[in-house]
Amino acid sequence: MEEKIIGIIQDLTGYKDLKKNKEIDLLENEILDSLAFIELISSLENEFNIEIQPTQVDPNTWRSINSIIDLVKSLQV
Amino acid sequence: MILTDILEILKSDSENNAYRIGVNNYTYNELYKYVCNLYWFLLEKNRSKKPVVIYGSKEIYMKASFLACSFAGMPYVPIDINIPKDRVDEIIKQINPDVIIGDLEKDVRAIKSNDIYSIMNNNNFSEINKIYMKPQDTYYIIFTSGTTGKPKGVEITYSNLDSCIKWLKDITNAKNEIVLNQANFSFDLSVADLYLSLVTESEHFIINTNNMMDFKKIFNELKTSRVTLAVMTPSFADLFLTDKLFSEELLPELKMIIFCGEKLLKSTVNELYSRFKRLKIINTYGPTECTFAVTSFEIPRNFDEEIPVGIPKNDVDIFVLDDNDKELKDGEKGEILISGKSVAKGYINLKTNKFITYKGKSAYKTGDIGYIKNGNIYIIGRKDSQIKYKGYRIELKDIESNIMDLEEIDKVVVLPKLNENKKVEMLIAFVKTKNKTEFDIKKELKKKLPSYMIPKIKIINEFPINKNGKCDEKRLMKELL
């Protein structure tokens, strides 16, 4: 699952080395912007059959790959 | 004209809200006091009547200063604080103002916001006794991306704006609304909500978009807003739509959205109509050079065709031309030319062949490619390398030239990555450099370009060449991204 999520984020943002750098701040470094964010929500929802409500998510979640992975895990239960 | 109408509303002693941002409400009565104080201040301070640079975000002094300049017969130049310093310096160099309003450090001409607030709040003020603005005077100057790497200023006249706002009032039928603002004031999308709210005695509701990821906070603000009419880009609506709470329950009084700035997709319209039962969606189109927008189309429910941008306003004509400037027939694709009352004066300090006289009227060659079918206008693309990204208009050459200006750059090509709807979903700069990393380039670029113009950086060793000896853009995107 981690691999898949990293793959999705790499495809959406155009950054290829995110795997080595899972704690990089995606917002601070402007890797994840509003357009990529819209795509990310729908890709994660489709891939993992989950429903993400951004209003129910701590905005800091979108800062790192690890916290996005945690979010997906928590929604899958 | 609109300033006469606005002055009348401001003078009416109304306790209705004129402007709301966060926890701050300002009534029409209060706004009038601010505008009067700034008007007399500017008449005294800016005797040259040179354009006034107004720098800031969405503080009340911004809107009050716009109006004070207008009544005093001075053009204003709005600059948002998110525009990086180098670009701000370039704009100020081009304008060479005597007066700057806002917290622009290290400029002696700048009157700091604290001083502005104390001027605005003087309770012992004289009323506005004359509107100095004449129809052919420049009303505002908005800067947009230019191919040379420097922003270019579009000069909009009072007559341009008057015609645009009266048309908007007509097509929306608005009165005493609560109008949602999205765009920052240096983006001309905001002109629609700035002035439509004034002429219809509505409340201008400003949403805090500093952290767009904080949905909870933004949705809480929306919930208490009672917004009835919104002006936004399709990208902004798409962002809200990612959360199912964005619906009639959140905004029960929302009855109209005016879209402008980029291609509006059917999926966005369908989703909005299914979540808002009483909503009307109006699609509009127009370049900054033609005063916000010149065409409109109210999208019927269950509309299953390609979405047009609609029919032109009464005092504007639209023609589709081929490469030799010959008019094309219905359905044939060519460059869109706009003529009539909405066409701007031109660019400041810049000669161009885009502004011409066509059939005796001032006209602008947009560079947009489109066609006309059954009276409706459809836009399908661009003639050149100008693109729309997140609703902003960007010249790819502007980005390239700013990257080339950095040290140790050998070559750069900036390309848009399109999604299945042909909308730009990402900008990529392919860069050949010896010693720089992508993060170095991004960091340096941030000082020169606004964040929406900063592309993903991809460092490459060699550029693929096609048969004609030019950079092979297709291979670049395919193999090297």
Averages of pLDDT over each 10 residues, chain B, 481 residues: 98 94 95 98 98 97 98 98 94 97 93 97 97 98 94 97 98 97 95 98 91 90 96 94 96 98 94 97 98 97 95 98 96 98 96 95 97 96 92 94 94 92 90 90 92 91 85 84 71
Task: Return d(Cα B366, Cα B339) in angstroms, integer.
Answer: 10
> Which chain B residues in 144-203 lie under 8 Å from chain A, judged by CB atoms?
none
Q: What's B247's DSSP letter? A: S
Assigned fold of A2-75: 1.10.1200
Query: What pLDDT, on a 0 to 100 scale, did the predictor assign at position B423?
Result: 87
Q: Quick one: which of B288, B71, B99 has its CA closest to B189?
A: B288
Query: What pLDDT, on a 0 to 100 scale, did the predictor assign at position A35?
Result: 85
Task: Return d(Cα B158, Cα B162) in angstroms, integer.
Answer: 6
Reported pTM: 0.93
A vs B, Cβ pairs < 8 A, gives 61
Radius of gyration of chain A (CA): 11
**Contact (CB<8Å) B243/A54:** yes
Cβ contacts of B239 on chain A, cutoff 8 Å: 34, 37-38
CA angle B10, B258, B186 (to 5 degrees): 65
- Give how far A57 is from chain B: nearest CA, Å: 8
Task: Return d(Cα B390, Cα B453) in angstroms, integer.
Answer: 10
- CB environment B138-147: b (16+ within 10 A), e (fewer): bbbbbbbbbe
Task: Return d(Cα B49, Cα B47) in angstroms, integer.
Answer: 5
DSSP string, B314-362: TTEEEEEE-TTSPBPPTT--EEEEEEETT---EETT---SSEEEETTEE
Cβ contacts of A46 on chain B, cutoff 8 Å: none
Cβ contacts of A62 on chain B, cutoff 8 Å: 213
Q: What's B12's DSSP letter? A: T
- ipTM, 2 dp: 0.89
**Contact (CB<8Å) A30/B454:** yes
Give the pairing of strands B409-418 and B424-433.
antiparallel
Report helix, strand or coil for B263: coil
**Contact (CB<8Å) B417/A30:** no
**Helix/strand number for chain A, H first, E second:** 3, 0
Q: Which of B242, B426, B451 lies nearest to residue A38, judging by beta carbons?
A: B242
Query: What pLDDT, on a 0 to 100 scale, did the predictor assign at position B411?
Result: 93
**Contact (CB<8Å) B212/A35:** no
